[in-house]
Structure 1
Amino acid sequence: MELLTTNNVWMMVCTALVFFMHLGFSLLEVGLTRQKNAINILFKNVFIICAGLLTYAILGFNLMYPGSFLAGVIPDYFFDLFGLSAPVADGSLDLAYNEGYTYWTDFLFQGMFAATAATIVSGAVAERIKLGSFMLFSVIYITIVYPIVGSWKWGGGFLDGLGFYDFAGSTLVHSVGGWGALIAIYLLGARLGKFGKDGQSHAIPGHNIPLATAGVFILWLGWFGFNGGSVLSADPSLTSITLVTTCLAAAAGGISAFLVSTIAYKNYDLTMFLNGILGGLVGITAGADLMSPFDAVLIGLVAGGVIVFGVSLIDKLKLDDPVGAVAVHLACGIWGTLAVGIFGSMAGFDQFLTQLAGVGIIGAFCCISAFVILSIIKATMGLRMEEKEETEGLDAHEHGMDAYAEFGTVHER
């Protein structure tokens, strides 16, 4: 009983840290975008955590991990359609998993992960998407797409049977959000002024880089819960090495992105430095429990380079991602997942092929799902704000508020 209590308390602390990450995402997105859209960014992030927890309780958790929330409520054939196990009433929802943590702690911890996937999309589509359209997409994506993908591995599905490994979600969380973000920015188009008539990319600076920096430090702290909690116990050895590899990969990712971007662009770009840290964190997440400290540094160093070249590639493809979400969460999520087959205790050619297959299957499912959902929304509600509304700012037109009211309205700036 004492072991259960210790493990359960650790899992609840990690749940709180992952919850805290949503503040980090909010500050990062606000800081890297323009002042006239700050309220809109914050509104989306508040909505995601609230709606995400409710929809995950109603349906998502039982799609991902068969339990008794929905036993007898939804016909079994619905679950069979996606190769899932139907919920089974077990007589006690407050059970403990191998003396690790209770059912309810499991639900809350996993619910925080679900909301994270939609938050990734929020930053990529910032400054031009209709709020109502984004909210509808987020609800559908969190409720159906994310849990189905998660069930294939974490719910004991077919990818788990194949030997696919993703410790804390480089693919199952970050790439799921990243694929959705990629399809969304493709269908939305770039912000006004992002690409000139000459086809060249023009930087649209964020309005508050100190906020963005604070957001990254909060996210780094939150990753102690994201990866540390994925140990699913308070085991001293496993939690310690997981946190060490997580931190070393983050530091190496930041240094690598800073150096590569300095060589490529001849300036010290703080935003690249910040995204490099996040890229290192995303990259180590798939195998944080398998890697040595040296492996973690190598994974982070590669992730930092992936960030710089990923951001450049997005620009070359004439796609507009204001916060670099696709490079951070998709590109580095793929790299981290494949790295499980290259570094650490599971390294091997067969494992690499298994990781590659998992990335491909999940990528195809997420892209098709996101494209269908967003295309229907685009054809019915519309995805993008009108040109006048985008020019004047979403805060004024969708919220009637200003993030910094004491400095005057958006129309005066």
Structure 2
Amino acid sequence: MVKKLLVTLGALSLVFPAMAFADDPSGKSLDIGINSLWVMIAFVLVLLMQGGFILLETGSTRMKNAGHVAGKTIFTAGLAALIYWAIGYGIAFGGDGNGFIGWGNFFFNPGYAGDGEGVPQSVFFLFQLAFAAVSLSIAWGGFAERAKLSSYLIFTVVFIAVIYPVVAHWIWGGGWLAEDGAQDFAGSTVVHLSGALAAFAATVLLKPRIGKFNKDGSANEISGHNQVFTALSVLLLWVGWFGFNAGSTLAIGDGFFGYVGFTTMLGAGAGAFAALLISWAVLGKADITTTLNGTLAGLVAITASCAFVEPWAAVVIGLVAGVLIFFSAKFFEKIKVDDPIFALSVHGVAGIWGTLANGIFATQELAEKVGVGQGGLIDTGSWKQLWVQFESVVVAGAFVLAASFLVLGVMKLIMGFRVTEEQEIIGLDLSEHGAYGYPEQLKKAGQNNIQG
């Protein structure tokens, strides 16, 4: 009996090393340790969202490009880690900059341990890196099925080194929009809108996929090859979003991270419900793709406001996002923008709505708790926060759009970044990598079917 007791106590001392905190009666070290563990778990959840993006883009496109989609996502995520370490983190969070750009901490070396005052910088770096990688993966929606592999390499370097970090600094790194009180708790603008506008620039410059539009302007449906992949991707992204939003509290503390997760769930559910109903009402059938995109739109929209709004408002935000995604997708198709994975609607339009929603629904109590901005129009009767939200969307969006058009335009002029017509018809698996993601398709390589 005594032996079992000693073994049990020994195990508990490993799990909960109280002796390590004996000289810290306040429990500060224990709080830091627990918070650090939580943020590290959140980082893992956000990083695993890359798996969701692989399945989302693969399922939404043709099987002749499946291996390319999966491989380039892993490759660019790895390259993003190196670029963010060398340059991007310093631009976003470097302490020697100003309101417009961070500076310092290049080739970041956080040391072996924290400073005893908060989450260790190494953990914070990893968490922020995962956000940057998500924004980059959103951008790839505009490249889908027609961009050269080399274009992914070059744009990754520029986007992660400069474009994304500048916006992150403005809103999260103590920049001028942060000083104005811009509320974007987990990145409806910083992450999602930035990625979507980069995708838009790529989509416009690359032009539509072969066979997408007819000469009279009418659109052909180029179906994705695996709707089960797409549905599974939404579930993976949904789970990862709890690291995305709730992890942004950077602490467990009084349990506020649970409230953030709660509003996140409501926004997602409302987005799925509204998208299903609107597609059913307009099309006469409940469209699965619209429902899946509505779920993601609800998540994107609630990302900015998850810590600032009451539950009923989270539902409203998700409902509006679910409706917007349906009409937005129709609009982009009408103006001949070929967006294979609906990045512009899901991450762009919903990102704008989610950011603006704070100016309407944020409460003064929650704004004070988070320590950013003030309550929105309904709670305070003031238009100030809505104006700040509008300002952040316009300025950040204009910067990303202009920078992306500039970089991609130069790439197009100098090297070209769309594959040839023959390569596109064969598929990027074979033309860019020499092998199919689905090897059994090799025997069909001569068929050159648009549906792949």
When normalised by structure 2's length, the TM-score is: 0.86
**Structure 1 stretch displaced more, 322-331 or 36-45:** 36-45
Q: How do 1:308-327 residues align onto structure 2 when only pairs under 5 Å count? A: 308-327=326-345
- For the pair 1:347 / 2:376, whether they are aligned, the reply is yes
Partners of 1:266 and 1:97 in 2: CA distance: 60
Q: Partner of 2:34 in structure 1?
A: 6
User: Aligned with 2:183: secondary structure?
Assistant: coil
1:378 to 405, 412, 429: 412
Matched length:
403
Q: Partner of 1:260 in structure 2?
A: 278
User: Aligned with 2:255: secondary structure?
Assistant: helix
List per-residue Cα deviations over 1:92-132 (Å, max 9, x = no partner). 74565885411100000000111111100112321011111
Q: Partner of 1:402 in structure 2?
A: 436
Q: Partner of 1:272 in structure 2?
A: 290
Q: How do 1:6-405 residues align onto structure 2 when only pairs under 5 Å count? A: 6-66=34-94, 82-87=100-105, 93=111, 96=114, 99-345=117-363, 346-348=375-377, 349-405=383-439
Conservation of the 8 A alpha-carbon contact between 1:32 and 1:207? yes
Conservation of the 8 A alpha-carbon contact between 1:24 and 1:218? yes
Conservation of the 8 A alpha-carbon contact between 1:121 and 1:180? yes
Query: What's the RMSD between the two structures over aligned residues?
Result: 2.0
Q: Partner of 2:370 in structure 1?
A: none
Change (3 A) 1:179 1:92: closer
Change (3 A) 1:410 1:382: farther
When normalised by structure 1's length, the TM-score is: 0.93
Partners of 2:315 and 2:229 in 1: CA distance: 27
Change (3 A) 1:161 1:387: same
Conservation of the 8 A alpha-carbon contact between 2:100 and 2:176? no
Partners of 1:33 and 1:332 in 2: CA distance: 22
List per-residue Cα deviations over 1:352-382 (Å, max 9, x = no partner). 0000011000011111100110011001110
Partners of 1:270 and 1:62 in 2: CA distance: 42
Gaps of 5+ in 1: 68-75
Partners of 2:444 and 2:134 in 1: CA distance: 30
Partners of 2:393 and 2:335 in 1: CA distance: 22
Partners of 2:423 and 2:160 in 1: CA distance: 28
List per-residue Cα deviations over 1:162-207 (Å, max 9, x = no partner). 1111100000010010111111101110001111122111110000
Amino acid aligned to 1:218: L
Q: Partner of 2:4 in structure 1?
A: none
Partners of 2:115 and 2:390 in 1: CA distance: 30
Partners of 1:7 and 1:28 in 2: CA distance: 31
Partners of 2:190 and 2:82 in 1: CA distance: 20
Structure 1 segments (4+ residues) deviating >6 Å = 88-92
Conservation of the 8 A alpha-carbon contact between 2:249 and 2:256? yes
Percent sequence identity is 40
User: Aligned with 2:156: secondary structure?
Assistant: helix
Task: Give the Å deviation of 1:265.
Answer: 1.7
Partners of 1:230 and 1:171 in 2: CA distance: 15
User: Aligned with 1:233: secondary structure?
Assistant: coil
Partners of 1:156 and 1:105 in 2: CA distance: 19
Conservation of the 8 A alpha-carbon contact between 2:297 and 2:346? yes
Q: Which structure would you say has the larger Rg?
A: 2
User: Aligned with 1:116: secondary structure?
Assistant: helix
